[in-house]
Structures are given as structure tokens and as C-alpha cells.
Amino acid sequence: MKNGKKIRNELKRSRQELEKKIVKRTADLFKANKSLKTSEKKYSTLVEKSNDGIVIIQDGLLKFVNPAVTKFTGFSKDEAINKSFINFVSPKYKGLVIERYKKRLLGEKVPNKYEIEIISKNGKNVSVEVNASIITHEGKWADMAILRETTERKETEKILEEERKKMEAIYNTASEGLALYDAEGRVIDFNPSLRKLFGLKKEIKNVKRKEIAGNREQYFKYLLERFDDSLKTQKEVYSGKTVSNVLMKIHSNPPKYLEGTYVPIINDKKVQGMLASFRDVTTLKNQAEEIAQQLIEVEKQRNRWEAVFENVEEGVFVIDGDNMLSRMNGSCELMTGFEEREVVGKPYYQIFGCHDTQGNKFPEFHPIDKVYKTNSAIPYDEHLHRNQEGNEIWVGVSYTPILSDNGVIEQVVGVIRDITAIKQTEKAKSEFVSVASHELRTPLTVIHGYLSLLLNGDLGDMRSDISRINYINALNKIYGETKRLTKLVEELLNISRIEERRLKLYTRKSILAIAIDEVISEFKPLAESKGLHLEFIYDKKLDGTYVLIDRDKFKQVLVNLLDNAIKYTEKGNVTIKSIAKNGEILTQVSDTGTGIPTGLKNKVFEKFQQVGVSYLKENKGTGLGLYIVKAIVELHKGRIWCDSQINIGTTFTFTLPIVA
């Protein structure tokens, strides 16, 4: 019994243990199943989400494709499954793929990573990188391939290759000479142009730049002259700086100029080498030199013109197209009274205020307007301008436009000459002619008039007393006017002689007092008839002194002065006084007459100047007397002047040198 119980207990324990085991196993299995499920899910998610295409091929047919495949081929899952995979491979790669597929299935060793092209739904080739491996699929051997699309990478590679080729072409054909140096300054490479530009005659590849610089004659056909410190340049570049505009000269025939640029090649913040490029700047340099030469010439020319511009007697100014003055020379400054800096940038008509002879002023009239209107020059014209002081000046002008290529006036150059003096002389001449003819006509009128009366018998037949008186009166008038005419003609002839410097003196050593006394005695009756006291005061010191005079002409001086003194004096005295002073005899002719206004004192010696505003209002007389007097006194080496006070009297003083 004891054993039975033992066995029963044993069995019971075994069963319990078995149950425990079963429970545990079941739990384990369940657990395993669950974990398997999780893992499957994990892998399937991976497959579904993968960017790489995943295909499973069994018996030559596609058994599985993931969405990524659909994405880069365009075929749907249904269009792909159970189709022969080889149909999707581009013809170019079919052979290769079939061969490798077969070998792999036979267990032969083939590369499991390679590139092929597959055909997408729209017929394009898509490059893919294939990573194939053998798996079991549904209990059978199958080929699983992971496809990674490489089209983009291929294209990038293609572009890079093209770029490289392009760069190479540029490098080889560029006219610039290019040289590449390593970190030690050794030439790694250079292009054909460099050889040509420098005229290389020895290989420089792998030669240090320093070595070439030290033995240039060995490397270069022609002498190379550099205008920089070659090694210093190198040092700078290797310190990371770009050095450009390095000029060098190749002494070939003709010489060549090169310009170099040195660029450091920096990688990882370290200078790994240097790229040097050289271009032929001979033409540029020659052009620059030519231009520089031309500029020097232009400058010289400009200086010459500037000298002419500043020193010509004519006033020269330049007006810009917008009517503004841009230049004015010194003569122009003198004429206008403006300084150049004051007028530059101002409208010309403000500075050259101008009017025509009718008094028209800008804007109705300005001679420069005509240039602008007609686009042509004014060769010569005369105008009245007003200077800064407000004085009118006569100018002879010529205006020349400077036209642009399309005929627009860019500048006007004005050349002006002050002809005021000439104009005044002209005016004086024409006035002289006018006044002289008037003066000549007056006695002629009277002579002609009386003669016609006599001839017409207007004055009777001399039988009556009245007739006789009229006759004699007429003859007296004719005689008087003839004398007047003669005197006038003489004066005019004298004027003409004076002006042509033909008035000659016939001098004799004379005692002045005798000459003066002679004239005074002639004037006594005239003075007495006006009730004037005529007196001659003679300095005793003058006894024994002589003067050198032309008696006739000296008489003319005194006659004129006394004539005037008596004419302009109504009462009082006319005095002549001679005194000795500083080796000269001063003779004064003084009156107590109307006097001469201050402003006219010096003008009395000018032609046709009498005391009056205008000749029209003048007193009788030709106005030539004092002009002639002055000329005669000066011919005698003397001087004459005039002192006068209104309503008190006038004194004319003249001098004559005393002779031994």
C-alpha cells in the first residue's frame, strides 16, 4: 500500500508538473506568437514606408512590390504582381540582370550591388541601384531586391562632368594665362596661354616659383620685368590676400604688358595653394599711354588758348546753351566792370545789358538772341552796352555759336571790343563837319542874299539917298561877312594843319611886351566902345628877357583871348599881366565877366566847345579859337589853363619859356 500511495503521489506530482509545463508552454507559445506578430507588423510597416523600392521575385515573376516602387516606376501593385520582372528592365541591362539572377539562384557568387535602369510606366529610364539577396518566400526560394533610385544623382554627376569639361575647355582655350601652385609654391599646372604669354622655353611644372623668379632667363624667352616685388606678392597671397593689378613687361619685340592677379586657394581655412591669372594689357596700356599723351597735348593746347583768352585786348566771353555766362576774360572784366566770378552762371542779358540805337532793350532786343534764332554767327555788329557803372559803352561785337553734332547751339563765344573812343571820335568828326558847314553857310547866306538883292534891283538904282544908303549898307554887309568867312576858313585850315601836325612856327627872338602892346592897341577901341578898362601890367623883372615866338601866331593867341574876354564881359576890366616865374613868363588875361562853370573849364580848349549845353544854343563864334590857341601855345613849348568863377570873372594863363 505504501508503494501504491507513493506511486499515486508520484503520478499526481508528475501530472501537476506536466500541467504546469503545458500552461507555461502555452503561455510561452502565446507570447512567442504575439511577439512574432509584433515583429511582422514592424517589418511590414518598414517595407510599406521605405523610400527604397522592395521587390520579391520568384520564378521570374514579381511577387511583391512596395509602394516606393509604385512611386518611382508609375506602375500600380496590380500592374506589377505576377508579371515577368524582366519586362521592367531597360533593354540595355536585360542581359546583365538575367545572367546575374540565374547565377544567384544557382548559388554562384555574384555582386549583390549594382546599377541598372528600369523602365517607368511613362517609358522613361530610371536609374536604380540594386541590392539583391536570396530569401524564402512562402516556403520557396525567392530573390529580394532593394531598389534605390539614382537618376537625380546621375544627373548631378552628369552636370558636374559637363562643368568640369567646360572648365577644362576654358582653362585650355582662355586667352588669360593661368597657373596653379601648391601650398609650397610649386607649379601644379598651367594652361597653354600662359606658355604663350610668357614665352616659356623650359618646363615649369613642379618647379617652385621662387626658383623660376631667380632664373628667369632660363625659363623665359624674353626678359621679364616686374614692377612689384615678386616674392613679397607671393607672401601676401599665401597669407590669404588677393593681389591684383600686378603689372609686368615682357621685353619682346614689340614689348608686351601683362597684368597679373594672384588668388589664394583656401580650403579648411588654410591656404592650399595659389591661382595666378595673367592677361595681355598691351593694347590697353598703349591706348592709355596714347590717351595720356593726348591729354597732355590737350592740356598744352588749353593752356595756350587760356593764355590767348586772358591776354587778348578784345573782351571774350562764353555763353552756355542755357543762356548762362560760363567764361569771361580780363579785357571783358575791364570793359563791363564785373569780375568773372561774379557773372559765371548768370544770364548774359543781365550782365551785357544792351540796347539798339532805337533804345529797344532786352527782352525786345538783344544781339545774342539773333544767334540763337538763326543758328548762325554775327560776324560784326556795333551795339550800345551799359557797364556796371551804368555808363554806356559802344562795342564792336562778333558772336559765334558752337554747334553740337546735331546742330544745337552748345555755346556762344562773344568777342567784344570797346569802340567807345572810336565812336566818340567819329561823332566828334561828324559834328565838326556839321558845325563847320553851318558856320561857313551863315556868312555865305548873307553874302549871297545881299548880292541877289543888288542884282535884282531890290535896293533901287542909287538915284535916291535911301537907295545909296541901302547899297552901301549891302556892300558893307558883304565885306563884313567876307572877312568873317575868311577868318573861319583860316581857322579851319589851321585846325586841319594842327591835326595833321603840319602847323609850323617861324620863330624869332622877341621882347614879349612889344608883341603884347601891339595887340592891345588894336583892341583899345573895341574895349572902350563897351566901356571896359583894358590894362597891361608888365613885371619890371622882365626887362632884358626874350622869348622865342612866331609873331603872327602869337598874335592869334592874344587876339583870341582878348576877343573872348571883351565878348563875355559887360562891365569892369580886362587885364593883361606878365610876370617871370621859374624861367618862364606867365601871361594872364583876366576879365570881370560871366565866368565859366567848373565842369567846362577844361572843355573850353576842345573843338567847338563854347560855354553852353549844346552847340545849338551857343553864342556866336566858331568855338575853334581856344583849340587853336592851345595848339599854338604848346608849339611854343608853353602851357595854358583856365581859372574862373561864375559872375566874378575868368583868367586864362599861358606860359612861354625865357630864352637867353
Partner 1 sequence: MENKIKVLLIEDEKEVLELYNLKLTLDEYDVITAENGSEGLEKSFKENPDLIFLDIKMPGMDGFEVLKKLRSDERTKHIPVIILSNFDEQDMIEKGLTLGANEYLIKSQFSPEDISTKVKDFLEK
**For partner 1, which is the closer residue by CB, 141 or 479?**
479
Which of 22, 475 has the CB closer to partner 1?
475
- Name which of 446 and 585 has its Cβ closer to partner 1: 446
- For residue 241, count CB atoms less than 10 angstroms from its CB and return exposed for 0-12, middle for 13-18, buried for 19 or more: middle
Instruction: Count CB-CB contacts under 10 A for residue 46.
Output: 11
Does 567 sit near partner 1 (CB under 8 A)? no
Return the C-alpha cell found at 637: 613849348
The full 3-state SS of 46-70, as one line of letters, equals HHHHCCCEEEEEECCEEEEECHHHH
Binding partner 1 by CB under 8 A: which of 449, 536, 555, 609? 449
Produce one character per residue of 378-397: b if its CB has 16 or more CB atoms within 10 Å, e if not: beeeebbbbbeeeeebbbbb
Distance CA 574, CA 571 (A): 9
Contact positions with partner 1 (CB under 8 A) in 599-628: 612, 614-620
Q: Which of 450, 523, 554, 568 binds partner 1 (CB under 8 A)?
A: 450
What is the pattern of x (binds partner 1, CB under 8 A) and - over residues 26-65? ----------------------------------------
Q: Determine phi and psi for 281, rounding to 5 degrees.
A: -110, 20
Strands 533-538, 573-581: pairing is parallel
Shortest reach from residue 442's CB to partner 1, in Å: 6
Residue closer to partner 1 (CB basis): 3 or 614: 614
Q: Which residues pair with 576 in a beta bridge?
A: 536, 589
Output the smallest distance, CB 485 to partner 1, in A.
Answer: 12
CB nearer partner 1, residue 121 or residue 438: 438
Q: In what order do the strands lie in the sheet with 187-190?
A: 187-190, 177-182, 270-280, 256-267, 243-250, 224-226
Least gap, CB of 479 to partner 1 (angstroms): 12
Side chain identity at 217, as an amino acid letter? Answer: E
Residue 235 main-chain phi, psi, to 5 deg: -60, -45
Work out how close the CB of 446 gets to partner 1 at its nearest, in angstroms, rounded to a whole number: 5
Say which residues have a Cβ less than 8 Å from residue 549's Cβ, sequence separation at least 6.
Answer: 507, 508, 510, 512, 515, 636, 656
Site mask, partner 1, residues 451-480, x = CB under 8 A?
-xx--x-x-----------x------x--x
Alpha helices in 239-366, H assignment, sequence order: 282-311, 330-336, 340-343, 348-351
Closest CB to partner 1 among residues 87, 445? 445
Closest CB 459 distance from partner 1, rounded Å:
8
Q: Which is nearer to partner 1, 177 or 443 (CB)?
A: 443
Per DSSP, the residues of 379-419 read EEEEEEEE-TTS-EEEEEEEEEEEE-TTS-EEEEEEEEEE-
Q: What is the smallest separation between the CB atom of 524 and partner 1, expressed in angstroms?
A: 24
Question: x/- binding map, residues 427-446, to partner 1, per CB under 8 A?
Answer: -------x--xx--xxxxxx
- Under the rule (CB under 8 A), what is the footprint of partner 1? 434, 437-438, 441-446, 448-450, 452-453, 456, 458, 470, 477, 480-481, 612, 614-620
